[in-house]
A = this chain, B = another copy of it.
């Protein structure tokens, strides 16, 4: 159980491990059995010393002077990240973003299967999106148990995000990914992640502003 070794694995490392898994899977599909840290680093866009540091957690898969066993390393990382299985997900908020995610096949490919779609708008209830019937959010509790949901995705407007959280908590959800631009509160044993992509635009705007000040354009 490698995951018990690094309980406090930093967030940035998790992101990189997720990238390594994707690259290792691509290599495996191309019949690659062993890869050097340099080669893996290049294909992941990470520097080699960083990758060696990250993969030190999985030291037993490194072969001095040769590299890593692709299959074993990939499996070890997947097991650590909880990606050696699928996760059932409920989505709350069937607006534009919610619909896009319901149709986003890459989620399923990565092991996250949206099994329920919920909205409190009576005009949306009963509608079918990508093969899923939209249920009233108040049915989250009974539906989540039936569908064995563990993770909730929130794509409501900001003012309805906390209500969606409350429904998800009642349904016994263990983790929430919040796309709504609003702070939410949940008990400490429920994992919460914010996907705030406007922050990425802010970062870009900030960097361009600085580059302009430097006379780079």
Chain A residues in contact with chain B, CB under 8 A?
1, 3-4, 7, 9, 11, 14-15, 17-19, 22, 44-45, 80-83, 87, 89, 96-97, 99-100, 103-104, 106-107, 110-112, 150-151, 174-177, 179, 181, 183, 189, 191, 193-211, 213, 216-217
Contacts and interface: CB of A to CB of B under 8 A. Distances in A.
5 contacts: A19-B183, A83-B205, A96-B99, A179-B197, A191-B207
B106 A181 contact: yes
Contacts of A216: 189
A110 B210 contact: no
A82 B212 CA distance: 10
A87 B174 contact: no
A1 B183 CA distance: 30
A17 B110 CA distance: 32
Given A183-B45, A211-B174, A203 B107 contact: no
B183 A204 contact: no
